[in-house]
């Protein structure tokens, strides 16, 4: 596939799973109607609870459940590859889940699972987040072979750890579901995304939560697609919506040819 239309879907998810799935379905359909063959949902797309513990009540066993069935059906119905944001999957014990991003091919088959490795912790006196209280960390990067190249998946806070991206080898597209806070997003979101695209000479499709949620939490939004030269091809600032762009193999190949930085690595 020489050219791929990719869409980063942005949401302002609520504590109601059914409501969020309805919103996601409409946005996926809109992306497919516009020609997307790869769509990426944001982190926590199915639930942004009033409390961090709310996701425990809707956790699913890997391979079955309402959220996973929804993702499989959407990918199959629209004939596109779908990175399912993140889904709360059961972990040993009853106090934590795995924050897992599942990749579905265009027939609805789950071909990859990535459990978020780096768990967000932040406390500036007025805002406090501690994902490790309710999430069990993963430990294995994910790269999937697709008709449009090697697709890597990272989630939100992973963006701050460049060693994760380099450890995956040469990747053509990184999908990055996220729910950056407004505070950290305003300062660091775009510059980190562009850095990862530039240093890894790849496309980045970053899908975010973007607005004020029922809990009072405010997420930054600004979902965007970035090319291997670090240019923003498309973006969506706040509220539900999407950013779509054509990802051209010729552009990827040209950047890697004129500036073969990946081949120049020494450490």
Print pLDDT tens along the chain (267 aa). Answer: 689 999 999 999 999 999 999 999 999 999 999 999 999 999 999 999 999 999 999 999 999 999 999 999 999 999 999 999 999 999 988 899 999 999 999 999 999 999 999 999 999 999 999 999 999 999 999 999 999 999 999 999 999 999 999 999 999 999 999 999 999 999 999 999 999 999 999 999 999 999 999 999 999 999 999 999 999 999 999 999 999 999 999 999 999 999 999 999 998
> Is 110 an active-site residue?
no
Closest by alpha carbon to 177, among 97, 109, 116?
116
Residue 221 DSSP one-character state: -
- 43 catalytic? Reply is yes
Given a contact cutoff of 8 angstroms between Cβ atoms, the answer to whether 13 and 44 are in contact is: yes
Name the pTM for this structure: 0.98
Buried b (16+ CB within 10 A) or exposed e, 140-167: ebbbbebebbbbbbbbbbbbeeeebbbe
Q: Please list, residue by residue across 98-128, b when 16 or more beta carbons sit within 10 angstroms of its beta carbon and e when fewer do.
A: bbbbbbbbbebebbbbbbbbbbbeeeeeeee
How far is residue 174's CA from residue 170's CA, in Å, rounded to a whole number?
10
d(CA 208, CA 223) in angstroms, rounded, equals 5
Each residue's pLDDT tens digit, 86-115: 999 999 888 999 999 999 999 999 999 999
Of the listed 116, 131, 136, 202, which one is catalytic?
116
Q: Which of 131, 136, 156, 218 is catalytic?
A: 156
Catalytic residue among 37, 43, 55, 60, which?
43
What is the spatial distance between Cα 107 and Cα 93, in angstroms, rounded to a whole number?
33
């Amino acid at each position: 596939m020489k050219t791929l239309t990719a869409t980063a879907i942005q949401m302002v998810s609520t504590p109601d799973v059914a409501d969020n799935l309805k919103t996601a379905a409409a946005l996926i359909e809109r992306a497919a109607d516009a020609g997307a063959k790869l769509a990426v949902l944001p982190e926590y797309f199915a639930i942004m609870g009033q409390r961090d513990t709310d996701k425990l009540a809707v956790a699913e066993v890997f391979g079955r459940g309402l959220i996973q069935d929804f993702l499989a059906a959407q990918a199959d119905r629209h004939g596109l590859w779908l990175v399912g944001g993140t889904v709360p999957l059961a972990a040993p014990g009853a106090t934590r889940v795995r924050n897992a991003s599942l990749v579905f091919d265009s027939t609805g088959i789950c071909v990859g699972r990535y459990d978020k490795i780096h768990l967000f912790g932040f406390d500036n006196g007025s805002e406090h987040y501690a994902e490790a209280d309710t999430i069990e960390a993963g430990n294995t990067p994910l790269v999937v072979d697709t008709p449009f190249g090697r697709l890597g998946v990272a989630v939100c806070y992973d963006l701050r750890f460049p060693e994760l991206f380099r450890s995956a080898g040469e990747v053509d597209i990184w999908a990055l579901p996220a729910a950056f806070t407004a505070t950290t997003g305003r300062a660091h979101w775009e510059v980190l995304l562009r850095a990862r695209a530039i240093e890894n000479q790849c496309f980045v499709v970053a899908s975010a939560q973007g607005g004020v949620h029922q809990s009072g939490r405010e997420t930054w939004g600004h979902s965007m697609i970035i090319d291997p030269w670090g240019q923003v091809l498309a973006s969506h600032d706040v509220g539900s919506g999407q950013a779509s762009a054509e990802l051209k193999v010729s552009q990827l190949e040209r950047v890697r040819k004129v500036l073969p930085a990946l081949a120049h690595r020494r450490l």
